Amino acid sequence: MIKNRRALRKRDAKALIERFFDEWGIEFGDGLVEEGRINGTVIYMHDGHPIAIKYNDKLLPTLNILIAHRPQIKYITVDMGAVPHIVNGADVMMPGIVDFHAPFEKGDVLWVRDVKNKMPIAVGIALISSSEFGREKKGKALKNIHYVGDKIWNAIKGELG
């Protein structure tokens, strides 16, 4: 359940929507932009639909927005063997990655999709840059922050019905 909901001032709402478009290429029309909390995590909504999560100074898209829009930027594609681990909260490991959208730097926000359906399954923070992918064969590539089945996912699903 989303708690402590409050409308953002027009200036702050406009800045958030512009930042989201600049970073993700997803455009929202005019509408009410709110801030709330799910289990202590700040979440932003546009006309009642959760669009982003605040993580430190980063703006992470929610999985439901990624499912609706599927941007063709900032993604990592994983093999089907990695999916069960990632949707249980595991970080994304190098051997499971089959493709990615470059360039990106260490610390960038990326979304994870499965190779078969191209469906969003997680959002996280890159632990290495795209230029390091050719050199690295093992280890963690992405810190998993928001994934299918986590507390945020379940709270959003509960809100939206």
Domains of the chain: 3-67+151-160 (3.10.450.120), 72-147 (2.30.130.10)
Categorize the per-residue pLDDT at 160 as very low, low, confident or very high, splitting at 50, 70 and 90. Answer: low
Give the pLDDT confidence score for residue 95 in this predicted structure: 92
Between CA 23 and CA 12 the distance in angstroms is 16
Mean pLDDT computed over 41-68: 93
What 8-state DSSP symbol labels residue 130? Answer: G
Per-residue pLDDT tens over the stretch 96-132: 999 999 889 999 999 999 999 999 999 999 999 988 8
Per-residue pLDDT tens over the stretch 58-90: 999 999 999 999 999 999 999 999 999 999 999
